[in-house]
Amino acid sequence: MSKMTLVFTLLFGMVAELGAAPQGSKPSLDYQFFKSKVQPIFLKKREGRARCISCHVTPTGPVFRLQKLQPGETTWNEEQSRKNYEAVTTAIAFPGNAKSPLLIHPLAEEAGGDLFHSGGKQFPSKEDAEWQTLRAWVMGQTSSTSAQAGTR
Ligand code: HEC
């Protein structure tokens, strides 16, 4: 192999690796944190707004679909929570991305959110405690109770 070819091969290898890295080592969002702190936000009724679960629900909800609760059920079981986690992390929450739709779509435009959400601007500002919980999760905070961060 000539020196040139060698350099080329090495370079190409590096580029290929760079391209592949985000997928291979994709950071994951903490499941326990999602289950205990994020999910309740989807269930909560806010003044003048419908609950997230009223619209974002299987089988017909827009963009991301939460599992349907049966009458009498107040929260999701383990299996349903896993499915919710899957739905949310696939569609609207991306690890470390502060512009994830989950963060900017339900946030008031004047507070840094985007223009319009059919479900209303549920969080008036970034000071909102629930919004901060969502952000902390997207930015990689893990549940303090789970020793094995990153497991799902
Ligand atoms: C009244 C029904 C309704 C409610 C309540 C609702 N949404 Fe939505 N949401 C929609 C619809 C319809 C869309 C798709 C069209 C749009 O973007 O407005 C959507 C889209 C979204 C998107 C996707 C944005 C994108 O571009 O990918 C996110 C994120 C979202 N909603 C989050 C929430 C959260 C979080 C809540 C609760 C705090 C919530 N929604 C409550 C109806 C609702």
As averages over each run of 10 residues, the pLDDT of the chain (152 residues) reads 67 55 65 97 96 97 96 94 98 97 98 97 97 97 60 46
Alpha helices in the chain (DSSP H): 3-24, 31-33, 39-43, 52-55, 78-91, 101-104, 129-138
- Whole-model pTM: value is 0.82
DSSP state of 67: P
Determine the pLDDT at residue 143. 85
Cα(83) to ligand 1 centroid in Å equals: 18
Determine the pLDDT at residue 151. 45
Is the minimum distance from the CB of 102 to ligand 1 under 6 angstroms?
A: yes
Is the minimum distance from the CB of 55 to ligand 1 under 6 angstroms?
A: yes
Cα(119) to ligand 1 centroid in Å equals: 5
Determine the pLDDT at residue 33. 97
Cα(111) to ligand 1 centroid in Å equals: 17
Is the minimum distance from the CB of 119 to ligand 1 under 6 angstroms?
A: yes
- Name which residue sits closest to atom 12 of ligand 1, judged by CA: 118
Is the minimum distance from the CB of 121 to ligand 1 under 6 angstroms?
A: no
Determine the pLDDT at residue 146. 42
Give the three-state DSSP class for 88.
Answer: helix
